[in-house]
Amino acid sequence: MRYLTVRLVPRDQPGFHPLGERLLAEPSLQREAVHHFELLDDGTLLLLAEGSGDRDRYEEIMASEPTVRDYMVSGEERWMAVSQFEANEAIREVLAWQQREDIVVETPVQFQQDGSQQMTLIGEDESFRALYEEATSLDSFDIEVVETGEYTPDTDRLARTLTTRQQEIMAAAVDLGYYREPREATHEDIAGALDLSPSAVGKHLRRVEERVFAALAR
């Protein structure tokens, strides 16, 4: 298993989104990192982010920004914020680029002073090459390779080498007794619980096992 750290630089604007541009332009605020992101069915983005600086000014910007649906802040000089806002085309393009089943984005994603984002991807070289080629054809950002090498997760970070779907299937397999001795569930049982095909379950479980055992063997 390999890691690839990259920097995504917005191509035609200071940030990837009007909200990000406003926060970036405010000298009393510092955006630190994104700890979770999720594109919702209604086209909005749910974000858990870390920031520092003038919290009151941050809340003023969030309250006046027309793309923001809702937000909540906890903390003082350094704070965590949950926000829901309308995703624009640039955000959707970045998310679509990231959300491949054979690549895992390790959080947190780091904000840079110039509005770019630095992130570490976990996967294999073949997937990285395809991802890089795809990125160079997109309109919203340029990509710079920062670092790459062998990925050796510790126990606390092992689950983050799995995609959300892989974690879901692994949890169902454990709950249904797939890994008990004697085995109490089949691929068909797991597929029925998750509304998937048995072949898809088998494919995902093989990838889960490959990544988990490869990490433990290091």
3-state secondary structure 63-80: HHCCCEEEEEEEECCEEE
pLDDT at 197: 92
Amino acid, single-letter form, for residue 181: E
pLDDT at 23: 92
Confidence class for position 157, pLDDT limits 50, 70, 90: low
Cα torsion angle, 53, 5, 17, 63, sign: negative
Question: What separation in angstroms does the CA of 128 have from each of 4, 74, 140?
Answer: 7, 36, 19
pLDDT at 27: 92
Tokens of 22: 């406003």
Query: Mean of the pLDDT values across residues 85-104?
Result: 82
E strand or H helix at 61, and its extent?
helix 55-64
Query: Mean of the pLDDT values across residues 76-87?
Result: 90
- Edge-to-edge strand list for the sheet holding 104-111: 68-75, 78-86, 44-53, 29-39, 104-111, 117-123, 2-10, 141-150
Tens digit of each residue's pLDDT (9 = 90 or more) over 174-201: 999 998 888 899 999 999 999 999 998 9
Mean pLDDT of the chain: 86
Tokens of 75: 């903390």
Tokens of 180: 């008990």
Confidence class for position 153, pLDDT limits 50, 70, 90: low
* Whether the predicted model's global pTM rises above the 0.85 cut: no
Question: What separation in angstroms does the CA of 65 have from each of 13, 41, 69, 123?
Answer: 17, 21, 9, 37
pLDDT at 156: 47
Confidence class for position 85, pLDDT limits 50, 70, 90: very high
pLDDT at 83: 95
Q: Name the nearest CA neighbour of 86 among 65, 116, 58.
A: 65
Tens digit of each residue's pLDDT (9 = 90 or more) over 102-138: 788 888 888 887 888 898 998 888 889 888 888 888 8
Confidence class for position 69, pLDDT limits 50, 70, 90: very high
Q: Is 160 helix (H, G, I), strand (E, B) or coil?
A: helix
